[in-house]
Structure 1
Amino acid sequence: MARGIMLIAAGLLALAGPAQAQSQVYEPVSLADTDATFVGEAPQAIEATTADGLVLQGAYWPPDEGVDQIVVVFHGNSYNHLVMAVRAEPLRVGGRGVLVASYRGFGDNPGKPSETGLYADAEAWIAKAREVQPDARLYLFGFSLGGAVALEMAARHNVIAVATLGAFTRLKDAAPRVLRPFVTEKYDNLKAIARVDEPILVMHGTKDDVVSPKLADRIEKAGGARVTRVNLTGGKHWVPLETIAPRIWQAWEATEVEAPPE
């Protein structure tokens, strides 16, 4: 009987595993369920159109007059652009511009998320950032799943610098062990970071119980001399940017080099 129960359980897992794995990769929050309250002025609504014709919603704070820095922010797997905008507002420090990107299938955006799709979405947002501020110095910030998007874009584009918070090595490494055989999306940060030429700030909470800090060790090693590692003592998976936004900009500017035109 015990063997029979085990076989039934294995069969149910084989049927439910791929769907469950997919649902844990992408858990978008609808805009109707989002209460966005900002400390200062709310961001502007902004749209970007992908190469395959999807019109995506995002949020944007233009840089203050005389400021030529913009950071494009890529959120995690259970967010939308308004949730991330509330959390990313502290990156406005010093009047910097902040463009909060979002993805297909998240919030009220059309389409179905996938690794290929999220990279296409990110391409559209980088193009939008260059469109609205052609002469701006461009930085990238990615949280969790967004860290994979930010690193891939840094590998493809000339930007000033990139930062990740709570990034994993590969998506499969961050999934529950029982679901790992069913994870088909790669999001391979170890390969991506090796292709990044710009300075990379890798931040990770020392008490992150979603993505082990040990994975950050591997990311740091793969990035080599380009990486500045910051251990956020006592930090969980998300660390409020109110406490670290000035440090992010200081670290970026300390390692800043002139980026060649794209």
Structure 2
Amino acid sequence: MSDNEPTYWGSWKGRVVKAIAVDGARTWNQIRDQTGLSPKTFNKVLSELFSAEALKKLNNKDPEEYRVSYELYKEYQEYFEKLEPERRTRPVKVTESDQTGLIHWIDQWRETMGLDFSLQPEHFYLAGGNLNNFSEKLILRAKKEVLVVNPYVDQCDLSDSLWKSADEDKQVTLITREPEDHYEKIKKRKEQFHRILSDRGVKVVYNPRVHAKLTAVDRAVAVVSSMNLNSSSAGGSSWEGGMVTKNDSVVESIVDSIYELLERPESE
């Protein structure tokens, strides 16, 4: 934690505090929708903040409202006043209905593809073309948010799904490495595609350390795989495999780690 970070920064508690102190969320539903946490995890975070006397409930409101301590409010207000514009993000409001709809869609996709696997363990494995197809359709199915971490991004159908999904109602974020290649012509082509992503509404964040391949959509479904966002990997030239999960705690852990990369950039 750097000296200028507010208390709880880089954690779910910090995101709850930000939702209240900076984004203006007040009720249980408003705050939960901005975190996208499962009710069980969200209530646990609230309980921890209550125990630390960082949060209070206004019972005279209908519905009940929440406020953070004055000290925390000041910390977060002052931090965001000084934060560079490119580091600021608009609040994402993912309702439980959005999340439930996405999870139900998995069944539809499975039937359409003629696949036979159980969703009872809340995780399933995909490989090759099925992994690529699912990942692309999942991104295009997003209602509010797409988070992608991938070190190698070039133009292909899967990477095109990022800009196709981006609009004023959805926040699409890509954390990747800056384009590199031994051949200058190919490097420039990659750089041009990254600019296209940015111009079409994708927030592109560079971090030279990333090597994970993660996708999280609407904080409800996540994919952890070996697949890069380029034609040789997503297009089938190399064999790729990955796990899909809809388990609340696993998805929340993945989203948490992605947000840590955003909240604590490589430069800090």
**Normalization by structure 1: what TM-score?**
0.30
Which one has the largest radius of gyration?
Answer: 2
**Normalization by structure 2: what TM-score?**
0.29
